[in-house]
Amino acid sequence: MGAGHAHAMYVHQHSPVHHLAPEVKIVAALAFTGIVVATPRESLTAFGAYALIIAVLALAAKIPPLWLAKRGLIEFPFVATALLLPFLTSGPRTDFLGMSLAVDGIWAGWNILVKGTLGVLIALILAATTPARDLLLGLDRLRTPQAITQIALFMLRYLEVLADEARRMRVARLSRLDDPRFLWQIKGFAAGLGALFLRAFERGERVFLAMRSRGYTGRLPAALHAGSVATARQWAGGAIVPIAALFALILMGYQ
Amino acid sequence: MHISNGIIDGPVSLFYGAIAMGLLALCLYRARQDLSDRLAPMAGLVAAFIFAAQMINFPVLPGVSGHLLGGALAATLVGPWVGALCVSVVLLVQALIFADGGVSALGLNIANMALLGTAVGYLVVVGLMKLLPRTAFGVGAAVFGGSVVSVVLASQGFVLQYFLGGDVDLIVGYGQISATMAGVHSLIGIGEGAIAAITVTAVARVRPDLVYALHGRRLATEATEPAGSATFRGIKPLIAVGALITLAIAGGLSYFASSAPDGLDATTLKGCTVDTDGNITGGSCVAQRAQDHELGSGFLADYGIKGLDSSTGLAGVIGVALTFAIGLIIFWIIRDRRRADRRRADRRRADRHRPGQRPGEPVHATINAGRLNQGLNQGPNQAPSQAPNQGPSQAPSHPDPWANVAVPRRRTSGSDAPRGA
């Protein structure tokens, strides 16, 4: 487990982006998102520049564009919201293809669409280039409370185990002639969920006792922190992304 | 349900982020008191449980995919502090690793789903448990109520955030947005509530000490009935009660929400002079633009039926009923299509096992025989000599090696019930 299991979102590659220390990537992604959100919605060129930055990043990280597009679909509910807004907004209206759309609403929809998409893309690049364990390690180095990072670490470690257990229970149920239909399957599903909780809780107790007997003191093992702490050079390299975005914002955002 | 970047503006997001951080610190402090140094592994496993519960696909109504939020469920099982902490960690990981929910909106999401939803859910559950008998059904009903209220209030948290930091003024007032959100989310809340209630009763039967909200006390024993049947009996009343609660919320709450300018509406009216009928007579304010819109004369517009005074509540009820009816119709259509698919698959399988026939023409023959036979089977005085295992999709007139094999998916309600054979 020390090698870090790659999560479903990780794209295994060797690239400068992959090799950057996780804390640098987290800070850069956060700063980039902040700059995107702070950009006035009318400055189209700035958004174009951000998209360019993301494209360069994805290229440097050797992430397939199709993968990005597919994972980006998670944003879909908000696309629907964005498309609805022009119809639901007050203010002056304009005619487009015979539909009466509110100008303000079009801008608001565009705002959600572009900022949401850019945010999802940068988060995807972060997730694709960083194993989950490293992400949490990065959060830990950024002084996130130990309790939070540890809970997240345990969660990720046992998530697959529990999901698998749930899948097995479902197969067992089906093979005993349960026939899930509409609302009545809630009973079987939820009773299984109860069993899953019991198993999870009891597993937690066992895991704690096992760790305690091996000298767990409530801190992450120091070995996790050895090596790979960000150097000044890495910080400088990671800073390129938000600084480029900041330049774009200053040059094109507030014309 | 997860808010993405760009919906709420920067300052409000930051403000909520700060609030979330402060409250999470409090949760952390109290959670340590609950679990001491077991905190990390235990809470980690509970968080994994919540994540897994959210991941499991649960198609109740196609199109309405209100996936489990788990706030009230977590609070009931492990207490409000650990519960809020776990849901927050789930949201953090979802934002960072699965790109679900904007990173800049993390504070907003945590405030709604992890803090507000969990706290309110827990308070309602504990309050209802004091009122209701300490039986499986009582506990289940308490958890159900807590879940519905928690989901609805989480949605109201979003409405408040949109009011504070939303980008544009909508044609509908905030009171109406809030009523709509409450209506939609009470439907989601029913699904969530039913699942949470059965989950908690299942745990409470086996390990009542693991249900935090029970405070270590056992359930009252139901000696007369075997375990398991109560849960089964419990679900139908539960759904009925849920439907009633929804209608009550939609009818009652939306009446209060929009018949008079509420707190939010009152704010948008600031700067205008308003006459006794609520019409804006002068000045300039946010609400002015919202008036006189073309949709304003629609049948259900303004959530009051035209020609009836104070009928907002009624319109809310009709809205919920309509939503439910549409959902049901979609479900029926999809179910029928799925059944047809299954029937086709069954038939194909049956054909493959019949020797000496080509796959082309006999399929039609099978369909016809099946239809005919189905019609016969559904007659009121069905001959008891027929094989009890046959569903309407099977054609017993030809030698079918699969005819008497119990395929789990083929069990259908209705004519195939064993009749004393």
Query: Contact, A154 vs A173, CB < 8 A?
Result: no
The mean pLDDT value of chain B amounts to 66
Mean pLDDT, residues B139-163: 89
Which residues of chain A have a CB within 8 Å of the CB of B10? 34, 37-38
Out of A23-27, B264-268, B347-351, least confident range:
B264-268
Closest chain B residue to A131, measured at CA? B97
- For residue B209, the 8-state DSSP code is G
Nearest to A204 among B41, B200, B203 (CB): B41
Instruction: Measure B203 CA to nearest chain A CA, in Å.
Output: 5
Tokens read off for A135: 């992400």
Paired with B273 in beta bridges are B282
Please state, in angstroms and rounded to a whole number, the distance separating the CA atoms of residues B216 and B64.
37
Distance from CA of B338 to the nearest CA of A (A): 11
A123 within domain boundaries: yes
Instruction: Report the residue from B43, B331, B406 with minimal CB separation from A151.
Output: B43
| Between residues A153 and B346, the one the model is more confident about | A153
How far apart are alpha carbons A60 and A240 in whole angstroms? Answer: 13
Q: Report pLDDT digits (tens) over B110-146.
A: 998 889 989 999 999 999 988 888 888 888 899 999 9
What pLDDT does residue B381 have?
A: 45
Å from B357 to nearest chain A CA? 31
For range A133-155, the mean pLDDT: 84
User: Residue A89 and residue B28: Cβ atoms within 8 Å?
Assistant: no
CA A148 – CA B32 distance, rounded (Å) = 12
Statement: residue B379 has pLDDT above 50: no
Q: Scanning every residue of chain B, which has its alpha carbon at the shortest distance from the alpha carbon of A183?
A: B60
Residue A241 and residue A177 share a domain: no
3-state secondary structure (DSSP) of residue A93: strand
**Virtual CA dihedral for B366, B372, B375, B376, nearest 10 degrees?**
-110
Taking the C-alpha atoms of residue B417 and residue B9, their distance in angstroms, rounded to an integer, is 59
Q: Please tell me which of the candidates A108, A154, A191 has its beta carbon nearest to residue B198.
A: A191
Return the half-sphere exposure (C-beta side, CA atoms, 13 A cut-off) of residue B106: 25
The two structure tokens encoding residue B380: 């009121």
Helix (H, G, I), strand (E, B) or coil at A100: strand
What span, in angstroms and rounded, lies between the C-alpha atoms of B397 and B373? Answer: 8
Per-residue pLDDT band at B19 (split at 50, 70, 90): very high
Contact A154 B409 (CB under 8 A): no
Q: Under an 8 A CB cutoff, do A33 and B39 touch? A: no
Distance from CA of B335 to the nearest CA of A (A): 9
For residues A150 and A234, membership in a common domain is answered with no
Looking at residue B270, what is its pLDDT?
A: 38
Q: How many CB pairs under 8 A join A and B?
A: 267
In terms of residues, how long is chain A?
255
Look up residue B239 and give its amino acid. I
Contacts of B214 in chain A (CB under 8 A): none
Query: Do A204 and A249 fall within a single domain?
Result: no
Q: Which residue has the higher pLDDT, B6 or B31?
A: B31
Chain A residue with minimum CA distance to B231: A187
Minimum-distance CB partner of A154 among B45, B85, B331? B45
Q: How far is A159 from chain B (nearest CA, A)?
A: 5
Same domain, A68 and A91: yes
* Structure ipTM: 0.85
| Banded pLDDT at A34 (limits 50, 70, 90) | confident
Mutation site, B45, B205, B331, B407, interface A, largest A CB count within 10 A: B45
In the predicted structure, residue A173 carries a pLDDT above the cut 50: yes
The answer on pLDDT for A7 being more than 80 is: no
Query: Which carries the bigger pLDDT value, residue B269 or residue A144?
Result: A144
Q: Verify that A234 and A203 share a domain, yes or no.
A: no
Q: How far is A156 from chain B (nearest CA, A)?
A: 7
Buried b (16+ CB within 10 A) or exposed e, A225-243: eeebebeeebeebbeebbe
Minimal Cβ distance to A155: which of B28, B44, B172: B44
Query: Both A130 and A21 in a single domain?
Result: yes
pLDDT at B20: 92
In this model, does residue A101 exceed pLDDT 80?
A: no
Residues A151 and A184 in one domain: yes
Task: Please report, rounded to a whole number, the percentage of residues in chain B having pLDDT higher than 70.
Answer: 50
Residues A22 and A101 in one domain: yes
Judged by CB atoms closer than 8 Å, whether chains meet at B195 and A179 is answered as no
pLDDT at position B239 = 61
Rounded mean pLDDT, B359-367: 45
Partner residues linked to A159 by β-bridges: none
- What confidence tier does B280 reach under pLDDT thresholds 50, 70, 90? very low
Look at A223 and B124; give whichever has higher pLDDT: B124
- Report yes or no on A1 lying in a domain: no
Q: Which of A86 and B27 is assigned the larger pLDDT?
A: B27
* The two three-digit tokens of residue A42, written as one number: 């009318």
Average pLDDT over every residue of B234-250: 61
Q: Which of B110-119, B152-161, B176-185, B308-317 has the lowest mean pLDDT?
A: B308-317
In A, minimum Cα distance to B339 occurs at A181
A200/B58 Cβ within 8 A: no
**Looking at chain B, how many residues does it have?**
421
Contact A186 B103 (CB under 8 A): no
Residues A128, A162 share a domain: no
Count structural domains, chain A: 2
Predicted local distance difference test score (pLDDT) of residue B398: 45
- Predicted confidence at residue A254, as pLDDT, reads 65
- In the predicted model, is pLDDT for residue B341 greater than 60? yes
Whether residue B406 and residue A89 make contact (CB cut-off 8 A), yes or no, is: no
Average pLDDT over residues B177-206: 83
In this predicted structure, what is the pLDDT of residue B40?
Answer: 81
Q: Identify all chain A residues contacting B239, using CB atoms and an 8 Å cutoff.
A: 183
CA distance B176 to B178: 5
Evaluate whether residue A130 is within a structural domain. Answer: yes
For CA atoms B358, B364, B370, B372, give the dihedral sign: negative
Interface test with B, best of A74, A151, A219 (most B CBs within 10 A): A151
CA dist., res. A104 & res. B170, Å (int): 10
Cα separation, B226 vs A85, whole angstroms: 54
* Domain assignment of residue A51, yes or no: yes
Q: Is the pLDDT of residue B251 over 60?
A: no
Torsion angles phi and psi, residue B374, rounded to 5? -60, -45
Q: Is A90 part of a structural domain of the chain? A: yes
Say if A3 falls within a structural domain: no
Question: Nearest C-alpha of chain A: how many angstroms from B230?
Answer: 11
Residues 6 or more apart in contact with residue A79 via CB below 8 angstroms: A113, A116
- Residue at A10 is within a domain: no
A4 vs B contacts (CB less than 8 Å): none
Find, in chain A, the residue whose alpha carbon is nearest to that of B83: A151
**Average pLDDT of B333-337?**
67
C-alpha to C-alpha distance for A6 and B52, rounded to whole angstroms: 18
CB within 8 Å: B40 and A120: no
What integer pLDDT is reported at residue B264 of this predicted model?
Answer: 35
Chain A residue numbers touching B52 (CB-CB < 8 A): 159, 162-163, 166, 196
Say yes or no: domain B10-259 is CATH 1.10.10.10: no
Q: Which domain holds residue A134?
A: 16-138+229-253
Q: How far is B235 from chain A (nearest CA, A)?
A: 7
DSSP B61: B
The per-residue pLDDT for B119 is 92
Question: What's the gap in Å between the CA of A81 and the closest CA on chain B?
Answer: 10
Three-class DSSP labels, chain B: CCCCCCCCCHHHHHHHHHHHHHHHHHHHHHHHHHHHHHHHHHHHHHHHHHHHHHHCCCCCECCECCCCCCHHHHHHHHCHHHHHHHHHHHHHHHHHHCCCCCCCCHHHHHHHHHHHHHHHHHHHHHHHHHHCCCCHHHHHHHHHHHHHHHHHHHHHHHHHHHHHHCCCCECCCHHHHHHHHHHHHHHHHHHHHHHHHHHHHHHHHHCHHHCHHHCCCCCCCCCCCCCCHHHHHHHHHHHHHHHHHHHHHHHHHHHHHHCCCCHHHHHHCCCEEECCCCCEEEECCHHHHHCCCHHHHCCCHHHCCCCCCCCHHHHHHHHHHHHHHHHHHHHHHHHHHHHHHHHHHHHHHHHHCCCCCCCCCHHHHHHHHHHHHHHHHCCCCCCCCCCCCCCCCCCCCCCCCCCCCCCHHHCCCCCCCCCCC
Question: Which residue type occupies B390?
Answer: Q
pTM score over 0.80: no
Q: Which residue has the higher pLDDT, B102 or B113?
A: B113
- Partners of B88 on chain A (C-beta within 8 Å) are 148
Nearest to B70 by CA among B114, B35, B101: B114
Asked if residue A187 and residue A92 are part of one domain, the reply reads no
- Asked if residue A126 belongs to a domain, the reply is yes
Class of residue B359 by CB neighbours under 10 A (exposed 0-12, middle 13-18, buried 19+): exposed
Contacts of B55 in chain A (CB under 8 A): 163
Query: How many DSSP H helices and E strands does chain A contain?
Result: 10, 2
Say if the Cβ atoms of A135 and B97 lie within 8 Å: yes
Q: What pLDDT is recorded for position B290?
A: 38
Of A90, A107, A177, the CB nearest to B408: A177
Both A123 and A247 in a single domain? yes
Q: What's the average model confidence in pLDDT over B66-82?
A: 83
pLDDT band at B399 (very low <50, low <70, confident <90, very high): very low
Closest CA of chain B from A177, distance in Å: 5
Considering only A164-178, B49-63, B402-416, which range has the smallest mean pLDDT?
B402-416
Based on the fold, state whether residues A130 and A154 are members of the same structural domain.
no
Q: What is chain A's Cα-based Rg?
A: 23
The candidate with the shortest Cα–Cα distance to B387, out of B404, B370, B408, is: B404
Output the pLDDT for position B115: 92
Closest by Cβ to B40, choosing from A162, A186, A218: A218
Least confident of A110-124, A180-194, B183-197: A180-194
Amino acid B318: pLDDT: 62
B290–A111: do the CB atoms touch at under 8 Å? Answer: no
